[in-house]
Amino acid sequence: MVLAMTPGVADAATVVARLTRVEGAVTIYRTHIPSPAAAGAILHDGDEVRTEAGRAEITFTDGSVLQLDRASRVAVYEHQRFTVIEGRVDFRSAAQAMGYQAQTDFGSVRVRPRGSLGILADRRGRQALVIVTTGEADVDSPWGRATIYARQLALLSGATGRPLVTPFTPSRGDTFDTWCSSRDRVAAATTPTPSPQYPSPSGEPGTVLDIYRPSDRGPSSLFVAPQLVWGFRRQAPHPGPQLPPPAPPHAAPKPPPPERRDIVIEAATSGRASQPRPRP
């Protein structure tokens, strides 16, 4: 009882994460009271991090990493849970994690150990996008459960939150992808076990999300997020082996038209029909 009343011990019991990187304007809200964020700040159960015009990186006690883009809001909780209130985040689950649960307005996302994904939450457009880069994730909504595999994305919207799942093709990253990749490289250089990095077509770290004008790079599926337009190039189905087109079947020669033969009745004295003869 005495230990529970000691402020230092009580605070330590609620520590769930720490801010390992802060850039620009970032604020921590604890019991609705704002305070400027700084690298090294401790996050307690229920704390909310807001990145107005900056970016932030949160490292949980088990080594899992949550990275926030600008104009994002995230709340962290005990028992490996966090809520994406608004904006865009990248999350990488540590190998020793039991499985994180990310909550959105449209459903929850259960991330498997060693999995990595991106989440975009758009409260104005009433939709959320889940992009799995490595591993697997389970999406639970009022509609039911759906499993999202690596290189798949799921759009959650509507009253039931039924996910629309489709493949995607990783493309070159934007500034947030570059920032996340640089942070991953720092983590890999300072930890004995390199952290998994996001796949890209070139094999270099980092890139699934891509911000661009649709006219720059062809048709795209657009997702409207606060102050941004997110474009994703969908992966076309594999065409399979290219086979030569089948040769057209040889048309059988048309038979000649039948010779028309009429029976001509001649007005003969005998009154008998003549033999058939060709009609000119």
What confidence tens digit (pLDDT) does each residue in 152-168 have? 999 998 777 788 999 98
Domain assignment present for residue 230? The answer is no
Domain assignment present for residue 147? The answer is yes
Strands 127-134 and 163-167: unpaired
Cα–Cα distance measured from residue 124 to residue 120, given in angstroms and rounded to the nearest whole number: 12
Domain assignment present for residue 252? The answer is no
CB of 176 closer than 8 Å to CB of 209: yes
Three-state SS for 275? coil
Domain assignment present for residue 257? The answer is no
pTM (2 d.p.): 0.65
Rounded to an integer, the average pLDDT of 70-85 is: 96
Q: How far is CA 8 from CA 1, 108, 203, in A?
A: 14, 33, 46
Domain assignment present for residue 17? The answer is yes
Domain assignment present for residue 127? The answer is yes
What domain range includes position 165?
Answer: 12-209
Domain assignment present for residue 100? The answer is yes
Could you tell me the CATH number of the domain that includes residue 188?
Answer: 2.60.120.1440
**Residue in this structure with the two tokens 């990310």, named with its chain if needed:** 102
Q: Count of domains in the chain?
A: 1
User: Does residue 179 or residue 243 have the better pLDDT?
Assistant: 179
For residue 97, name the pLDDT band (cuts at 50, 70, 90): confident
From the number of C-beta atoms within 10 Å of its C-beta (0-12, 13-18, 19+), residue 202 rates as: exposed
Domain assignment present for residue 86? The answer is yes
